[in-house]
Amino acid sequence: MRIRIVDAFTDRPFAGNPAGVLLLDGDGFPGDGWLQDVAVEVNHAETAFAHRLPAGGDADWALRWFTPVTEVAMCGHATLATAHVLHTTGTHEGPVRFATRSGVLVATPAADGAITLDFPTAPLTSVAVPDGVAEALGAEPVAAFDTGANVGDLLVELADEKTVRGLAPDHKALAAYSARGIIATARADDPAGGYDYLSRCFFPNVGIDEDPVTGSAHTALAPHWSARLGRPDLTGLQASPRTGLVRTGLRGERTLLTGRAVTVIEGELHADPDA
């Protein structure tokens, strides 16, 4: 089968967040062990596996995501990467509905090549900043929020953009504070710079010290910053070394995530799941 590496939430190679994408033959998934082995071999933040579903149902394709360590409940950048492959190869035209552990997620392509994902908005709950987070992160949060089961992170707002960019956290220590990890964010210093807020994401519990660009995290960042800034439509910059932009649109219980993707590598996988 064909295997691709796609850089998501970017319009150029070697930026954004790389994901492995495999479109599977047949009407089901191979065993979990094989899926995890492929994700380990690909060794990117996520590898997406999708197979076509029968016509006439609630979804067009079934989709699962694996990090090199575990399966995850929701992944934005690998969903964007999968939709990009389906559309650029002519495998699927128009909006595509994915059946996932987080419900049906829809990816809609635009004429200019951008793709908009329709994801559930994370339910934010204000919490006290846990003891030890400031020391593990290397900065004192001004607020903290639980992001709910789908995202599984602790969202912390920091004082300013410089603080977010300068973080050098103790990744092992961060693992104690949430199911997946920590989203650190601040308002943009210059709103004319092309983004309204920035973030960095640290996910030691799923084997990712720093994720390059995290779609799922923006389902929590969107309601947080839309409430702060008074606008439903914003742009977030994930300030990892690779960087990437995510346009967010808060629509009540749903959040729209818009970005681009670029296929960087395409090859053939010879590891037969039935062997």
**Residues tagged active-site:** 46
Sign of CA dihedral 135, 139, 143, 146: negative
**Would you give the DSSP letter of residue 152?**
-
Rounded Cα–Cα distance for residues 225 and 239 (Å): 16
Across the strands, what pairs with 236?
197, 246
Question: CB 104: neighbour CB atoms within 10 A?
Answer: 14
The secondary structure of residue 171, as a DSSP letter, is H
Query: Which residues are CB-contacts of 237 (< 8 A; sequence separation ≥ 6)?
Result: 188, 194, 195, 197, 198, 199, 243, 244, 245
∠ CA 64-123-253, nearest 5°, is 80
Tokens 């961060």 — which residue? 174
Output the DSSP codes for 98-143.
EEETTEEEEEEE-TTS-EEEEEEPP--EEEPPPTTHHHHHTS--SE
Which residue from 61, 71, 56 is spatially nearest to 26, judged by alpha carbons? 61
